[in-house]
Chain A
Amino acid sequence: MFESKSAGPSHRTHIRAGQPWWRIDWREIWEYRDLLALLVKRDLTAIYKQTILGPLWFIIQPLLTTVVFTVIFGRVGGLSTDGIPHFIFYMSGTILWNYFQGVLNHGAGSLVGNTGVLSKVYFPRMVIPLSGVFVNFAHLALNFVLFLGFYVWFMLRGSDMNPNGWLLMFPLLIVQCGLMGLGFGLWVSALTIKYRDLRFALPFLTQLWMYATPVVYPASLVVTPQWKFLLWLNPMTAVVEFNRYAFTGRGSPDIAGLGLSWVVTLVILVSGLLLFNKVQRTFVDTI
């Protein structure tokens, strides 16, 4: 079985100390695209094996969250929703937030959670956090179908919602959301190597973060300029707010805020990529 000459181009590997910190071998990651695809497939199929409801959990989870938010923040708390039907308001925020959080968590655990494999065999480690972007995108797609269903139903019942041109930007918002989750995930993953505390702090921090994002309240609730700036500095604010605006024509779309959120997203993403790339080279020594 070793007779056949391998078909690929001759492989030359140069191993040396102190690779420049800015060099990320994208070509190598591309070489491992099949692994990326399989990791995505594995995560999508393996999680729900031996569960009764299976992939239905993808739908039940955001649905229940939306119901809880509607009851607690909408009915009991009586928070404004800018006149958007409560269910649509909370659901639109929830599914995007879930996507962001899913990518973030996947990335955050990519090094520490896979030490077993990573200390035994080499493949570009970046593949693991990248796979999280796609796995969670599949979850998001399912959730979005659910959302569309409710959206159309509310429209047919005559709710006052005005979808507009910003809908064209919707795919871009999804991309931004994924990149943001990836960027922060890479940061946390790299920092967790040194400080394991982050593992315990992360669920708590993301929950706080969600309440700092206009998921359960509209951005219009924040009026003082200083707080407004802080709100829009959080890159998720723009994603959630613009998404709502695109579908309903209500809310407070702030173009400057969107620009700012893209700047923050790209800064976090690029710095995250570089930091992760630096840490992954020798992380098995410290783990």
Chain B
Amino acid sequence: MTEPAISVRNLSKCYKLGTIGRHTLVDEAQYLWHKIRGKDPREHFSKIGHTATEARRVEAEQEGNQEFWALKDVSFDVQPGEVIGIIGRNGAGKSTLLKILTRITEPTSGEAFINGRVASLLEVGTGFHPELTGRENVYMNGTILGMKKREIDAKFDEIVAFSELEKFIDTPVKRYSSGMYVRLAFAVAAHLDPEILLIDEVLAVGDMEFQKKCLGKMQDVSESGRTVFFVSHNMAAVSRLCTRSLVLINGELSFDGDTPDAVSKYTAISLKAEACASWSDKDAPGSNGFRLKEVSVRGIDDEPVGSVDIRQPLCLKIRFSLDRDKMKFRCAMALYTQGVCAFTTIEKEEREYLQAGEHCLLVRLPGNILSEGEYLVGVSVFASRGVKSHFCRIPDAVAFHVSDCMDGGSARGDYAEGLGGVVRPNLEWVHE
């Protein structure tokens, strides 16, 4: 077995609270004054932070904690050539992890070994000076990112060609349009020739064309056997590029494994719902003799799944128990995504259950119908003979994630950019 490209051991990062926000001697004096008078000095200094981590930090501070762990006891290995995704909500510690691995800051405890030349793309165009020409900035930016001057000499023409800015290379970059600026910056970054590439999601801002270039570049890198460490909360990009992913929750590593599993874990956390929800007899939701026992999303093998391929069929299953014989109602499920209801499916007529006890209903969804992204499933059980009566209604019973793996076999074909819509049927285009 080869040596890992990145090896992280018990990495932790702690921010001391109370030292934040005291940048002047006056603040320091006020802090002491508050302390002397026996008031909680932190009250005076708690304010809304400007980064995700800082927001969590302020939260911790308000709860009265003395310290805040942005990263806690994280360990993992990355093998050379692996493309690994780091996912987690804002403030989960992703950026802190990246900052430590890129040596921008030091860990509080633990260690990390990195084998190979590292390039980080935390932000393109870092160190660009508006007064300098494109040519001068290529050198400036390249050396800041760790290249030698002779390396840039050797690649200079290639960089300029990639940026398509031959005509403007001796113009000060302050005269560039923002598009030109980004093109030049990315051209430099793309020619870093690293063994390990660390990429933050900030890279994913910018226009579609640029994003496509970024993602294409990452694919190139991984195909040539380099290691890519991709930090994002863009599930689509992670699913597409990474075979393995880590999920960070509140600074702790909560999952390390195949990307689809990692994505369902993340979906479960971010939507606060799992792929399978079940209730015991005591707390089963429902009324009028109806008790919901379980709702689940299942794949073709009838196992609960949190992440499904866009082409695969899946089924939504609901299990419930009835207290009486001869009950009559119908069941409906609604799928929500991107903040809207994608569609509702309903039993075409009310069904009569002759016997009390447990029953099971399922509805099959064909492949190539849902779009990419997270779906939340709402369940509703009701009867509408005369007065409409509800037996059970849960708007967020289960959640799952649909990914489009971009191998050309799905409805998007070989189109790599974003596609709108809450459904994505695979339709045939015909030329007459």
Contacts and interface: CB of A to CB of B under 8 A. Distances in A.
Contacts of A286: 19-20
B25 A121 contact: no
B132 A11 contact: no
Given A4-B193, A15-B112, A284-B99, A49 B131 contact: yes
Interface string B252-272: 000000000000000000000
A224 B392 CA distance: 97
A117 interface: yes
B193 A122 contact: no
Given A1-B193, A6-B195, A13 B114 contact: yes
B19 A35 contact: no
Chain B interface size range: 35 or more
Nearest to B139: A38
B22 to A, nearest CB: 8
Q: Most chain-A Cβ atoms within 10 A of its Cβ — which of B102, B116, B127?
A: B127
B15 to A, nearest CB: 6
Contact of B143 (A3, A14, A17, A32): A32
Contacts of B25: 195, 197
A196 B110 contact: no
A194 B22 CA distance: 8
Interface in B17-65: 19-20, 23-26, 28
A121 B136 contact: no
Contacts of B145: 121
A2 B19 CA distance: 44
B102 A12 contact: no
B230 to A, nearest CB: 16
Contacts of B127: 117, 121
A15 B11 CA distance: 10
A218 B100 CA distance: 53
B110 A194 contact: no
A187 to B, nearest CB: 16
A46 interface: yes
Q: Most chain-A Cβ atoms within 10 A of its Cβ — which of B20, B115, B144, B220?
A: B144
A19 B103 CA distance: 12
B220 A49 contact: no
Given A13-B113, A38-B143, A284-B99, A119 B193 contact: no
Nearest to B140: A38
Nearest to B128: A117
A121 B15 CA distance: 20
Chain A interface size range: 35 or more
A46 B131 CA distance: 6
A42 B144 CA distance: 13
A153 interface: no
A34 B126 contact: no
A2 B103 contact: no
Contacts of A6: 117, 193-195
A148 B108 CA distance: 54
B117 A45 contact: no
A121 B126 contact: yes
A186 B61 CA distance: 32
Given A15-B111, A38-B139, A38-B140, A118 B104 contact: yes
Contact of A46 (B99, B105, B112, B129): B129
A123 interface: yes
A37 B131 contact: no
Nearest to B223: A2
Interface in A228-287: 281-282, 284-286
B104 A46 contact: no
B123 interface: yes
B369 interface: no
A195 B113 contact: no
B193 A34 contact: no
B407 interface: no
Contact of A13 (B103, B123, B129): B103
A12 to B, nearest CB: 6
Q: Most chain-B Cβ atoms within 10 A of its Cβ — which of A12, A13, A18, A32?
A: A13
A42 B140 contact: yes
A280 to B, nearest CB: 10
A121 B120 contact: yes
A281 B113 contact: no
Interface in A120-148: 120-123
A226 interface: no
A49 B115 CA distance: 42
Contacts of B108: 17
Q: Most chain-B Cβ atoms within 10 A of its Cβ — which of A3, A118, A122?
A: A122
Contact of A8 (B15, B117, B155): B117
Contacts of A15: 100-101, 103, 106-107, 111-114
Q: Most chain-A Cβ atoms within 10 A of its Cβ — which of B15, B28, B111, B193?
A: B193
A42 B138 CA distance: 12
A244 B129 CA distance: 40
Contacts of A37: 149
B126 A195 contact: no
Contacts of A16: 107, 110-112
B224 A3 contact: yes
A49 B129 CA distance: 12
B148 interface: yes
B132 A46 contact: yes
Contacts of A38: 139-140, 143, 149
Interface in A7-52: 8, 10-19, 32, 34-35, 37-39, 41-42, 45-46, 49-50
Contact of B190 (A1, A3, A35, A49): A1
A222 B23 CA distance: 39
A107 B99 CA distance: 24
B146 interface: yes
A48 B321 CA distance: 82
Contacts of B103: 13, 15, 122
Contacts of A14: 111-114
B401 interface: no
A37 B144 CA distance: 11
A262 B43 CA distance: 48
A21 to B, nearest CB: 12
A38 B143 CA distance: 8
Contact of A35 (B26, B99, B144, B193): B144
B102 A195 contact: no
9 contacts: A6-B193, A11-B116, A13-B118, A14-B114, A16-B107, A16-B110, A118-B104, A119-B104, A282-B106
* 5 tightest A-B CB contacts, nearest first: A16-B111, A35-B143, A13-B114, A34-B149, A122-B103
